Every structure is written in structure tokens, then in C-alpha cells.
Structure 1
């Protein structure tokens, strides 16, 4: 029997998503000059694609950022799409000029 428990954890400069003991993907963040968290890239291992893990990863990461009172700058297309389609209670978003939603 395999452990398919999904967990999201914050590490130095990224959030990781694990399926059991295996890291299945991550989303990277970097503080900008104003202390906001810029999210430039999200990646899911090809072996784990098609399971909704990217959405779970971004949802958990954004909820954690909101709980910490930090501001997100979404440069990653996946993070941007998630934030356009979902309300994250308490999350401050600083949209890049080129990605500002309508």
C-alpha cells in the first residue's frame, strides 16, 4: 500500500507539495525590494501531472501567505490564473502592470 497523503510545506524560498514522502512539485517565491513575495515559477513533476496538484499547491501557498499577512506579486501564469479565479480571504495582491486583471 502506498501513502498518497498530500502535504504542502514552506521551505526557504518555496512551497513544496509532497505525495507521501515524494516531492511532487514546488512554487518559488522571492521577496522584492518592498518586502512583497514575488512568485515567478511553479512546477509539478511530470509523473504527478493531471492530479490537480498545482492547484492544491498554489491554493495552500496563497492561504499561508494571507495568514502571514504578506503580499503576493503573481508573475507565474499559474499563480496569476488561480488568483483571478479564486478569492483568498485576507490576501493582499500587488498585480504586475502587465497582468492586472480587468
Structure 2
């Protein structure tokens, strides 16, 4: 039986939380500005590493961020790698910031 995965935005702590079968498995911390959400740190806890949970956390966080109308600033290496390897997410990075992150304009 596959584990139950949930990702939720804990806006009180400025982070997305990934839970596996109800247990906190990872976080993606952010800081909001008026127009962008800067992802500053993403972590999957050791017990849950190597199972694809980082990708699920980042994708859900970015999809939620897009739905909320924010652009993204991928300051965290995990989020930057995710965006670099999935061109459909580059559009979430504002044009003015793409050069800084070595992303296509």
C-alpha cells in the first residue's frame, strides 16, 4: 500500500510541509514579497530521502504558488534544480531574475 502524501502551506511558519502517513517528512521554507515567493531552504528529513519526496514537495509548492499568483525566486538549490530541469516552471521566475539563476530568458 502506497503511503499517504500531503503537502500543505503552513503560512504561520512560512513553509510548505510534506507529510507521509501524517508524519512531517520535509519542508520548503519561503519568504513572500509583494509579487514573488522566494524559496530559501528545502529539506527532506533523512528517513524519507531517496524516495522522490523532494520532487513532490517542490512541485506542489510551486503549483500552489502559481495558483496564488506569485512569481518564484529559486534561491534554494533544490528548487533551482527543479526549475532548471522542467522548462514549464521557468515562466514562474520573473524575467528580471532569470539571468541571476542562469535560466533562459
TM-score range, shorter chain: 0.7 to 0.9
Aligned to 1:5: 4
Could you tell me how far apart the structure 2 residues matched to 1:35 and 1:14 are?
17
Offset at 1:92? 2.4
Offset at 1:100? 2.4
Aligned to 1:18: 19
Aligned CA distance change for structure 1 residues 85 and 42 (closer, same or farther; 3 Å): same
Stretches (4+) displaced over 4 A? none
Aligned to 1:41: 41
Gapped runs of 5+ residues in structure 1? none
TM-score, normalization by structure 1: 0.85
Offset at 1:31? 1.5
Provide the aligned length of Structure 1 versus Structure 2: 99
Instruction: Note if contact 1:3-1:20 (Cα within 8 Å) is conserved in structure 2.
Output: no
Aligned residues: CA RMSD: 2.1
